[in-house]
Amino acid sequence: MDVGSTYTKAALIDLGAGELVRRAEVPTTAGSDVLTGLDQAVAQVGGGDELYVCSSAGGGLRLAVVGYESLVTAEAGHRVGLSAGARVVHVATGPLDGRGVTALRESRPDVILLVGGTDGGDGEVLLHNAHRLATSRLRVPVVVAGNADVREEAAARLTERRVPVTVTGNVLPRIGVLDPGPARTAIREVFLRHVIGGKRLSKGPRFASLVRAATPDAVLAAVELLADRTGAGVLVVDVGGATTDVYSALVPDAEAESGPRRDVAGTLWRSRTVEGDLGVAVGADGTRAAAAAEKLALPEIGQPPGDVALAAAAATVALRRHARGHASAPGQPRTGGRDLRDVRLVVGSGGVLRHGGGAYVLDAVLSDHAGGWAGPARARTVIDSRYVLAAAGMLSIDHRDAATALVNSL
């Protein structure tokens, strides 16, 4: 089950064969109780013996990152947050002051990722920011994933003020070494424990008890599985009504890990970005504005309907941003870019692509040579027309053979 903001999708999987038996799609009943739509979709596929649910309803997971320095630990936290299935709505760097706390509050995060310092390095900023968060009016859960020498003390300052805290491993234990696993796991657990229930999507506790992951986190797990299976670079672009998500899993490069091209904030070989202003429904105006700002001229491939053209624009702009990286502030250098030239498989996802627009959208993306990024040179393209990626990602831990069979079906 994938409970989205617009539609709730059900996929009945034969675990023994790793095959999709039946799927259904119904409008998400967020206006009343999302369980109504979920139960309808389950009934349409005939039910099952086990129920796996992911969700991005209610806007998904909104994450703020509070870090030490914009180009190192805060950037590392930003990359980890995106890989955890979150939409990063704010990044604060350096010691928080009153204005910084106000900006953080106005971003309305569901979770705050507090990072800062490599292990054994400077801990003063991490402690200062923990104190600032503890004494603010913000009462959202905090994941502390900074300097090992002071993170317990930082957590204690928050706990004293009854702020929900989870302590986990440093996202950047050493310069150039990015360790996303512990923070990703902690963010996922906080999302399940605090966020799903807090969005008031359902009247009782049953829905929160069913959800196992944020939908983007589940899809990233499937992308990682697909990359492991193929041994090659994989790129996925998922165009939705409100956001456009891009996932890339690249083959590690020794020079980029430890050589002269090493990134001080570490390299995340499996990564995701989310563009909250790009979509084909509620995000349509944002897509038009972004396309105009990029001076985007789509290739002439027939005359597609309006939503297909919008999806092509959203996908193209999202891929440009994913590959170019982002700047922490105007005038700052771009970081976090992705070299996609060696990608061998490009997967398109989203309702518009599944319902006939996939070839046009992916052709537009792969023929884009004006965005300041080098695209895949020799890639196959495929559409996730049966919507198996989210299902495979949720099954990848408990039923890996079935999950592998599902991604093979692509």
Q: Please tell me whether residue 214 adopts helix, strand or coil conformation.
A: strand
Q: Where in the chain is the domain with CATH 3.30.420?
A: 215-409
Question: One-letter amino acid identity for 111?
Answer: V
Q: How confident is the model at residue 363 (pLDDT cuts 50, 70, 90)?
A: very high
Sign of the CA dihedral with 309 first, then 314, 317, and 322 last: negative
- Residues of the chain with pLDDT > 90: what percent? 48
Whole-number Å distance between alpha carbons of 130 and 112: 11
pTM recorded for the entire structure: 0.79
Distances in Å between the Cα of 161 and the Cα atoms of 134, 136, 167, 193, 203 are 6, 10, 16, 19, 29
Strand intervals (E) in 240-341:
244-249, 270-275, 326-327, 334-335
CB 9 within 8 A of CB 394: no
Whole-number Å distance between alpha carbons of 334 and 102: 26
Whole-number Å distance between alpha carbons of 139 and 142: 9
Give residue for tokens 């799609």. 25
Q: Where in the chain is the domain with CATH 3.40.50.2300?
A: 62-195
- For the segment(s) 62-195, the CATH number from 3.40.50.150, 3.40.50.2300, 2.60.40.150, 3.40.50.720 is 3.40.50.2300
Sign of the CA dihedral with 97 first, then 103, 109, and 113 last: negative
**Any alpha helices (H) in 119-205, and if so which ranges?**
124-135, 151-160, 181-190, 196-198
Whole-number Å distance between alpha carbons of 207 and 79: 29
Whole-number Å distance between alpha carbons of 330 and 402: 46
Q: What confidence tens digit (pLDDT) does each residue in 182-224 have?
A: 998 898 888 877 777 767 788 888 998 899 888 888 998 999 8
Q: What confidence tens digit (pLDDT) does each residue in 89-136 have?
A: 899 999 999 999 999 999 999 999 999 988 998 899 999 999 999 999
Please tell us whether the domain made up of 215-409 is placed in CATH 3.30.420.
yes
Whole-number Å distance between alpha carbons of 358 and 326: 27
Q: How confident is the model at residue 327 (pLDDT cuts 50, 70, 90)?
A: low
